[in-house]
Amino acid sequence: MFIWIPVDSNNEKTAKVSKLFDVKHWALIAFDEGEVKSTQFFDKREAFTEWVDFIVLESKFDSYIEFMNEGMMVLCVREEETIAEIMEAYKFKELDEVGL
């Protein structure tokens, strides 16, 4: 499965989740069998055309309707900032679901 995370840099170790208004890069996480298989970075989300299952946002107040319309499940972080922290929280279902 694929997971989008809007981030402030394209460094896998230091990138932090960012608000959609401030996004610099998109981290695309390939997640399977309970672990991260790979991380790719894109300048624009539209550069990747395959199905993406989830998007993790910095805040439940970010505009998420577009992602839901594309069929993605929208999650938001609690206190997690880095990709590693977010994916650890994802594994243990510690991210909040955003919905209507």
pLDDT tens track for 67-76 = 999 999 999 9
Q: pLDDT by residue (tens digit) across 9-49?
A: 999 999 999 999 999 999 999 999 999 999 999 999 999 99
**Residue 100 confidence (pLDDT):** 63
Per-domain residue ranges for the chain?
2-98
Cβ proximity of 60 and 77 under 8 Å:
no
Task: Determine how β-strand 25-32 pairs with β-strand 35-42.
Answer: antiparallel
pTM for the model stands at 0.95
CATH of domain 2-98: 3.30.420.130
Q: Which residue has the tokens 């505009």?
A: 63
Tens of pLDDT, residues 50-62 = 999 999 999 999 9
Report the distance separating Cα 10 and Cα 62, nearest Å: 21
- Stretch 75-89: mean pLDDT: 97
